[in-house]
Chains A and B, each alone.
Chain A
Amino acid sequence: MTAAKSHRTAEEIGRTAVGPRPVPELGEQRPAADLASVDTVLPNGLRVLAVRHASVPTVELRLRIPFGGSDPLHPARAELLAETLLTGTTRRDRVAIDTELALIGGELGTIVDPERLSISGSSLSDGLPTLLDVLADVLTDATYPDGQVVRERDRLVERIAVARTQPRVIAREALQQRRYGDHPVVREVPQAEDVAVVGPEAVRALHAQAVLPRGSVLVLVGDLDPEKVIDDVAAAVGGWSSDAEATPLAPVPDVAGGDVLLVPRRGAVQSQIRLSSQALPRTDDRYAALQLANLVFGGYFSSRLVENIREDKGYTYGAHSGFEFTGETATLDIDADTASDVTAAALMETRYELTRLRVVPPSEEEVAAVRQYAVGSLLISTSSQAGLASQLSALAGAGLGVEWLAGHPQRLQEVSTEQVVEAAREFFAPERFTGVVVGDPEVLSDGLAALGGVVLP
């Protein structure tokens, strides 16, 4: 920019005659309205949680079916089942399913992971009967037409090839293996060669054996009458029944601390740092304290980790630390992507912040800020139908419900700074963490060797 100077200097811009002004105090906060809800188990064993949140004339739907399996081919079969569940029933072909959903402004989508098969959807609220009818139809009568399964199998192989070139997927697989070995929980993306041998019969057999109501949870949130919608669901999915119970993932072992493993990805210009340690689930009395300690460490932008490695050092675009809930347990996971030449330094700073959280524990001021953030961000994320539905679905998967959500702000208010300090001291010891760094070994090895605590290839 070379134009003749007609603008102020940066220094002139940053100053006014009045000078700095005080930041306004917060006003009076009004609480969120209570939610009308029904939480019940239908005769077929399906738990249904229906919540009225009539902000807009739509409804959100979340169904979680426990979908564990120990067979080595289970991930491939499960993935292909998820890809083809919505491709046909006796009554509807693939196009008819999409057309009926589209005409009610609706969508249905499926995702499967080692723990569960998730079906998510939404529609205009007056289309809910159709949404439930299509859902019940695929649950009870998905036919997995041969042509659809074979075509989707080919696509899936291609998509897996694409997924395995994504750094975040490579890093996730490496972290899972590092902390859980060969437990079924590590098989998030199936092997392409396994997918290639799965046929339509195997998918149909898996559906009959594993897509079961008992142990599953359906969450409905939106412009609906909870009492009435329970009856509608019962009528719609009454034919979905089995005495067997959906299969949860085998319990995962506790994460043991240990050295970080360098996983080579030659030619990478950026590295993925991924650390993990055993934490506490939401049902533990100390969960709220640990939640606040984690926020101080790396759980929000104003955390010590982000202020250090992004805002001070410029090593990363984003660093995060957060809870991951698996079965009845939880871990703390830390991640940051950093340029190769600063990766060792970023890992060093991350370890430093772990130690600092114990030696220079969270202050009253830090705890007050994260408490306000935890309460406020929960309020914001649950103020929309989609946000509330996803939150409740996650809670329901852990056996919790609306009461937990309603009671959590109070629990956060009651946590003392001392309890946060205790949680920080117990759970943020660097030796509790294990992890991986994915990146170019040519560039990374010397620095990581000098840092120590890293297993080089």
Chain B
Amino acid sequence: MGQIEKFTIDNGLRVVLAPDRAAPVVAVSVHYDVGFRSEPEGRTGFAHLFEHLMFQGSESLEKLAHFRHVQGSGGVFNGSTHPDYTDYFEVLPSAALERALFLEADRMRAPKLTQENLANQIDVVKEEIRLNVLNRPYGGFPWIWLPPVLYETFPNAHNGYGDFVDLEQATLDDCAEFFDTYYAPANAVLTVAGDFESSHAKDLIVKHFGDVPARPRPERPSFAEPRPETEKRGTHPDAHAPLPALAIGYRMPDPIGELDAYLAHIVLAGVLADGDGSRLEQRLVHTDGLVTDLSASAGLFGPFEARDPDTFSITAIHPGEVTEQQVLDAVDDELEKLAATPPSAEELAKVTARWTANLHSEHDRLMSRTLGLGSLELLYGDAALMYDLPGRIGSVTPEDVSTAAKALRPDSRAVLLVQPQTQQEDQ
């Protein structure tokens, strides 16, 4: 499908090139190998706050200049913070390729970290958290509220958006230390995809990133912790939610070290909850009528977003007159059936075909193609895995899926209950 070229420049920056001349647009992304699992205790939300600061100017660019140069070139931009990495990207008309490389290189070399911008972005991040978590029903469900039930250690359990108290205590020196530790070129992957000629892009990359000083690549800690040995339960009161909800969290095989077993969990998620004909949709939504909506997912943000440990989750919103035990019993019953009798070949063919089509669709959007290549290079050292995935997913057998279902055990999981708070809303 895609032609991929990879190399590493002298300061250790890894580069992925994926030229494609079909449309006159180009995308540039940088993935740094640090996410919210690496932020220290007392500084929850720091990795995300720091992501905001990386847009606030650098040696050659005043505050606001980054946005203006990208958009004034006809482009779009964003960044996002994940458990194990942080990404930054621009998609632009191809005439702006060199400009985009310059912008990323300038902030990798010398971001301008100031007290004024830090204070401003703490305010902005608090507004983001009010918008997405505090002021709406089911805000942060399940990604903020499930991990502290499933996990014991701070990196895995804490809130990656951050507590306001922690955010307000962030200092400029914290920012300097975080940048110097984690934002080294050797700790990053640069991906360029779209309309360009490889040797030209290579020259431009060396020209702009070549003199970003080398710094040591930080040692990556293990976040491993034992699986739960019982069913753990937790509750989260939600002042805005009208209906109860629950999330079940299970541990998964190591996404990198046990890729085939991990892929079987991805297929299992499809068999369970993708489409009207899926097992849990049929049973819980349509036949038993227990829940309003449900989902099953390998990874709290989708697959290929994190290293070990990673979470398989099933979520449901249900009417108050249905008990959580009814929902759990029905889920367990369906998992037991799959564990006892592997799914049919047709059930797997459905999942494979939808995966293949989704992969094409992701490839077709240059932004998601670029981010996918970059994150796979960062996590797996293998950007081309993107194009092997449909084949790998297609090789998962019914027995593999059955084995995955067997591993989702009631005595080794977390159950989070979202409890509506009786509050009379206007309207």
Interface residues, chain A, CB within 8 Å of chain B? Answer: 1, 3, 6-10, 12-16, 18-33, 55-58, 86-87, 94-95, 97-99, 101-107, 122-124, 151, 154-155, 158-159, 161-162, 164-167, 170, 173, 263-270, 300-302, 307, 310-318, 337-339, 368-369, 372-373, 375-377, 379-380, 383-387
Interface residues in B, total, Cβ within 8 A: 107
In the complex, the chain A residue whose C-beta lies closest to that of B368 is: A384
Chain B residues positioned under 8 Å from A310 (CB to CB): 124
**A104-B59 contact in complex given A165-B425, A302-B72, C-beta closer than 8 Å:** no
Is A1 within 8 A of B76, CB to CB? no
- Give every chain B residue within 8 A of A315 (Cβ-Cβ): 123, 127
**Are A167's CB and B135's CB within 8 A?**
yes
Inter-chain CA distance A141–B7, complex, in Å, is: 57
* B113 adjacent to A14 (CB under 8 Å): yes
How far does the alpha carbon of A162 sit from the alpha carbon of B266 in the complex, in Å? 29
In angstroms, Cα B360 to Cα A107, docked, is: 14
Interface residues in B149-174 (C-beta closer than 8 Å to A): 172-174
Please, which residue of chain B has its CB at the minimum distance from the CB of A374? Answer: B74
**Listed stretches B221-229, B234-242, B296-304, B325-333; interface member:** B234-242
Measured between beta carbons, the chain B residues less than 8 angstroms from A373 are 71-72, 74-75
Chain B window 30-66, contacts with chain A (Cβ cutoff 8 Å), 1 for yes, 0 for no: 0000000000100100000000000000111101100
User: How far is it, in angstroms, between the C-alpha of A9 and the C-alpha of B68 when the chains are bound?
Assistant: 27
In the assembled complex, how far is the CB of residue B132 from the closest CB belonging to chain A, in whole angstroms?
Answer: 8
Most chain A CB within a 10 A radius of its CB, from B76, B424, B426: B426
* A268 to B137 alpha-carbon distance, docked (Å): 12
Partner of B243, one of A158, A312, A318: A158
Assess the A23–B180 pair: CB atoms within 8 A.
Answer: no
* B267 on the A face (CB < 8 A): no
B366 at the interface (CB under 8 A from A): yes
**Extra 12 A-B pairs, beta carbons < 8 Å, given A20-B60, A155-B293, A384-B366:** A1-B177, A21-B106, A23-B102, A27-B94, A27-B95, A58-B364, A103-B353, A154-B289, A167-B136, A270-B127, A377-B74, A380-B74
Query: Once the chains bind, are A317 and B128 in contact (CB under 8 Å)?
Result: yes
Contact A267 B23 (CB under 8 A): no
Quick one: given A159-B292, A376-B75, A377-B74, are A102 and B134 in contact (CB under 8 Å)? Answer: no
- Specify the chain A residue showing the minimal Cβ separation from B21: A30
Partner of B67, one of A107, A165, A301: A301
Contacts of A384 in B (CB 8 A): 361, 364-366
Instruction: Report if B380 contacts A (CB, 8 A).
Output: no
Interchain CA distance A165-B423 in the complex, whole Å: 11
CB < 8 Å A-B pair total: 287
**Given A23-B102, A26-B96, do A9 and B176 touch, yes or no (CB 8 Å)?**
yes
The 5 A-B pairs at the shortest CB distance, nearest first, are namely A376-B74, A105-B357, A314-B123, A102-B350, A7-B180
Contact of B427 among A18, A98, A162, A170 (CB under 8 A): A170
User: Provided the pairs A21-B60, A94-B276, A379-B74 are in contact, do residues A8 and B180 lie with their beta carbons within 8 angstroms?
Assistant: yes
Among A159, A270, A338, A384, the one with the most B-chain Cβ atoms within 10 Å of its Cβ is: A384
B350 — which chain A residues lie within 8 A by C-beta?
A: 99, 102-103
The CA-CA distance from A110 to B64 in the complex, in Å, is 40
Find chain A residues with CB under 8 A from B134 CB: 269-270
Whether the pair B23, A95 counts as a contact (CB closer than 8 A) is no
A162 to B319, CA, bound (A): 11
Which parts of B87-127 form the interface with A (CB within 8 Å)? 91-99, 102-103, 106, 109-114, 119-127
Is B68 a contact of A376 with CB atoms below 8 Å?
no
In whole angstroms, what is the CA distance A115 to B138 when docked? 29
Q: Quick check: A379 and B93 within 8 Å, CB to CB?
A: yes
Determine if B392 is an interface residue (Cβ-Cβ < 8 Å): no
A15 to B176 Cα, complex, angstroms: 13
A57-B175 contact in complex given A98-B277, A170-B427, C-beta closer than 8 Å: no
Known: A29-B95, A98-B277. A103 touches B427 (CB 8 A): no
B401 at the interface (CB under 8 A from A): no
A56 x B181 contact (CB < 8 A): no
Across the interface, which residues of B come within 8 angstroms of A337, CB to CB? 127, 130-131, 135
The answer to whether A31 and B24 touch (CB under 8 A), given A10-B113, A13-B110, A386-B361, is yes
For the complex, give the distance between the alpha carbons of A27 and B69 in Å. 14
Give the nearest-CB partner of B97 in chain A: A27
The reply to whether A26 and B120 form a contact with Cβ atoms under 8 Å apart is no
A86: chain B residues at CB < 8 Å are 276
Which residues of B lie under 8 Å from residue A98 when comparing CB positions?
Answer: 275-277
CB-defined A-B contacts under 8 Å, sample of 6: A14-B112, A30-B95, A105-B356, A314-B122, A314-B123, A379-B24
Tell whether A162 pairs with B353 under 8 Å between CB atoms, given A9-B173, A14-B112, A302-B67: no
Q: Which of A10, A18, A28 contacts B95 (CB 8 A)?
A: A28
- A57: nearest chain-B partner, CB-CB: B360
Q: Nearest Cβ distance between residue A292 and chain B, in whole angstroms?
A: 13
Cα A22 to Cα B96 with chains together (Å): 14
Contact call B319/A26, Cβ cutoff below 8 A: no
Give Cα A99–Cα B426 distance, bound, in whole angstroms: 43
* Interface mask (B304-343 → A, CB under 8 Å = 1, otherwise 0): 0000000000000101000000000000000000000000
The answer to whether A7 and B127 have CB atoms under 8 Å apart is: no
Return B216 CB to nearest CB of chain A, in Å. Answer: 11
The docked-state distance in angstroms from the alpha carbon of A373 to that of B71 is 5
Cross-chain contact B59 with A14 (CB below 8 angstroms): yes
Q: Are B59 and A29 interface neighbours, CB within 8 A?
A: no
Closest to A441 in B: B426
Chain B residues within an 8 Å CB radius of A161:
242-243
**How far, in whole Å, are A98 and B286 apart by their CA atoms in the complex?**
14
Are A24 and B102 neighbours in the complex by a CB distance under 8 Å?
Answer: yes
Find the B residue at minimum CB distance from A105: B357
Contact partners of A375 in chain B: CB under 8 A: 74, 93
